[in-house]
């Protein structure tokens, strides 16, 4: 009998187990607290796995990751080196992320910080925002999430650019890669980070990079980070928001989560903070997606969306 082990932290593992049992009749669905022989486990479904998550799983066929990002999972010291890791790719999660990105970009294009400050000062100043077509949005990271975001931003009328580590071709979107980062930044008013977190992208959102953004938008350029907290240097963001290098920032992720109460970001009126809620893995979509993968793989079909460990995503 095929066996699926759930090893989930900070989510409703019991609820996921019930849904998997309904979706996979004939598959033994186990939780980490159950008694079982590790050598019988074929698949493990993980989120924030503990140190012992992979102990004894010598016959494992695949590791299934609840998250779209796998940077933390790949750092697990006991992750089997010779087993494929499958990441979650889902239309619902993608749409939720695009909802966040477009809401933040539109807010900043409409000069939200300027009018927030005017409201606080009870000051009536009719400064008209630029049209979306006059505002250049640069999206860093052109995977599933980034590709969807650039398409939706283009529909909204923005001038949209994309940058990725390796060349990508997206119909209707001007794209840059690798060493063309400077050119990309120099034409960007609102920078959106949807990069995977790798050693090369850790700390990429720093003061030096902010200084290379175009200074056309009233108040200064803007960053939106909904990828990983490891991408950003928060002391640099605070500095840039204070001295005008950045006009504003929308941040959904942080170097330490929860964001410490003494972080100066909390007190900045041009920093817009949300507690890592831009996109969530929906239980209905997740169970449907991974159940299909398990059934197909047991029938001899290849696994989709397998992580390239060399690239980190």
Please tell me the distance from the alpha carbon of residue 51 to that of residue 59, in angstroms, as a whole number. 19
> Could you give the C-alpha distances from 37 to 178, 206, 237, 298, in angstroms and in order?
47, 48, 49, 20
Is the peptide bond preceding residue 258 cis, with omega within 30 degrees of 0?
A: yes
Would you tell me how many other CB atoms lie within 10 Å of the CB of residue 37?
Answer: 9
Three-state secondary structure string covering 79-118:
CCCCCCEECCCCHHHHHHHHHHHHHHHHHHHCCHHHHHHH
**What gap in Å lies between CA 133 and CA 189, rounded to an integer?**
12
Residues marked active site are found at 228, 276
CB neighbours of 247 closer than 8 A, spacing ≥ 6?
108, 113, 217, 218, 219, 220, 221, 222, 270
What sign does the CA torsion over 127, 236, 215, 104 have?
negative
């Amino acid at each position: 009998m095929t066996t699926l082990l759930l090893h989930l932290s900070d989510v409703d593992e019991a609820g996921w187990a019930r849904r998997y049992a309904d979706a996979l009749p004939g598959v033994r669905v186990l939780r980490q607290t159950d008694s079982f022989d590790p050598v019988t486990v074929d698949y493990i479904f993980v989120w924030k796995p503990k140190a012992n998550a992979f102990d004894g799983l010598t016959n494992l066929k695949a590791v299934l990751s609840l998250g779209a990002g796998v940077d933390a999972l790949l750092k697990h010291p006991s992750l089997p080196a010779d087993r494929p890791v499958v990441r979650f790719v889902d239309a619902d999660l993608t749409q939720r992320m695009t909802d966040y990105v477009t809401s933040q970009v539109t807010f900043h294009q409409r000069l939200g910080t300027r009018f927030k400050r005017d409201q606080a000062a009870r000051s009536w100043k009719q400064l008209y925002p630029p049209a979306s077509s006059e505002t250049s949005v640069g999206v860093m990271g052109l995977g599933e999430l980034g590709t969807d975001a650039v398409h939706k931003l283009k529909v909204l009328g923005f001038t949209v650019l994309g940058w990725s580590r390796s060349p990508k071709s997206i119909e209707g979107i001007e794209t840059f890669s690798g060493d063309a980062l400077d050119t990309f930044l120099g034409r960007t008013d609102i920078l959106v980070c949807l990069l995977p977190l790798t050693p090369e992208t850790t700390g990429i959102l720093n003061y030096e990079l902010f200084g290379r953004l175009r200074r056309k938008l009233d108040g200064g350029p803007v960053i939106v980070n909904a990828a990983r907290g490891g991408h950003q240097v928060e002391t640099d963001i605070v500095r840039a928001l204070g001295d005008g290098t950045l006009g504003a920032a929308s941040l959904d992720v942080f170097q330490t989560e929860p964001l410490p109460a003494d972080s100066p970001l909390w007190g900045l009126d041009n920093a817009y903070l949300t507690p890592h809620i831009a996109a969530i893995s929906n239980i209905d979509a997740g169970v449907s997606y991974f159940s299909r993968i398990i059934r197909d793989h047991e029938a001899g079909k290849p696994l989709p969306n397998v992580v390239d460990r060399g690239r980190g995503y």
